[in-house]
Amino acid sequence: MNILITGGSGFLGARLARTLLAAGQLSAAGAPPQPITRIVLADRAAPPDDLARDARVQFQGGDLNAQIAAGVLPAPGTDVVFHLAAAVSGECEADFDLGMRSNLAATQGLLEACRQLGTAPVFVFASSLAVFGKLPGHGMPALIEDYTLPTPQGSYGIQKFIGEQLVTDFARKGFVRGRSVRLMTVSVRPGRPNGAASSFLSGMVREPLAGVRAPVPVPAETVVALSSPARTVEGIVKAAEAPAEVWGPLTAVNLPAIRTTVGEMAAALERVAGPAATALLDWAPDAAIQRLVETWPGNVAAARANAMGLQADSDFEAIVRDYVRENPQAVKLPLR
């Protein structure tokens, strides 16, 4: 079993690679499980040391579009592609050309390269909750379901929705076995902030636990749909493994999410690390971020994912405690 992960050195890509390597095998679209012999991590940055040391891991560094154009990616014999690489929401709003190149051109180019392989690899596309949006002059649907019409309100969401449609058409034609999964906002991400408008939803937990002040640019009553890193990777792997009859229509699947508010997130942080943690939150409105976040839905159903055995996290406090358990070196405050 040969696997390609674009964005493979990033947080989700590296976690996915570790999960696959620990399992040692993968079932591609319901086929009998096969041992994993190679995972290619394609990224601009080198992978973490633990992955670089694994003999099954190969790093392919450089610009993704350039590598696709040169015929380097995907390599012949690739069985499964996890396409995670993307410019994030805030970056796409600030730099239109970056988003179009990184999110649209790269996705189309990678699909075309998979078509040229002639082997119909499984193609898992990491789409986003951002394909849904609040239309100006209209209320947000009370519940976002798998078949709710996407109405993205930002460049990132528009590019991801186009990517979903490309995956659907390439799969319909038999060029790939396409699976698009709509990722919820992932919290809590370790490491440094990124350019996503939703980055604060990790930072408002991660930074205070490290004894560092963190901005909260939206009101406490803002409703959000969240998923832990573990549940997110579980959903990505399930998308690759589900047989066609279980996956169902070629359209994208919503991954499960918990519905919470930013204020409730702060309360969960305080239950874990006390008032010393929430005292480090700076509730300072940012109109640009607020305008974008307010167009995202907070109440999301995931019936198709649930039917595959996927479930949301129990609550946000459990997510915070998982982060603490997995990243003890990043926690400086005393815990309750």
Give the residue numbers annotated as catalytic, written as ranges: 156
Exposure string over 100-115, b if 16+ CB within 10 A, otherwise e: bbbbbbbbebbbebbb
Q: Which of 123, 209, 136, 218 is nearest to 171 (CA)?
A: 123
Residue type for position 114: C
The DSSP code for 144 is B
- The whole-angstrom separation of Cα 75 and Cα 7 is 16
Q: Which residues contact 192 (CB under 8 A, 6 or more apart)?
A: none
Task: Label residues 36-62 b or e (16+ Cβ within 10 Å = b).
Answer: bebbbbbbeeebeeebeeeebbbbbee
Asked if 239 and 231 count as a contact pair (C-beta separation under 8 A), the reply is: no
The answer to whether 241 and 305 have CB atoms below 8 angstroms apart is no
The DSSP output letter for 39 is E
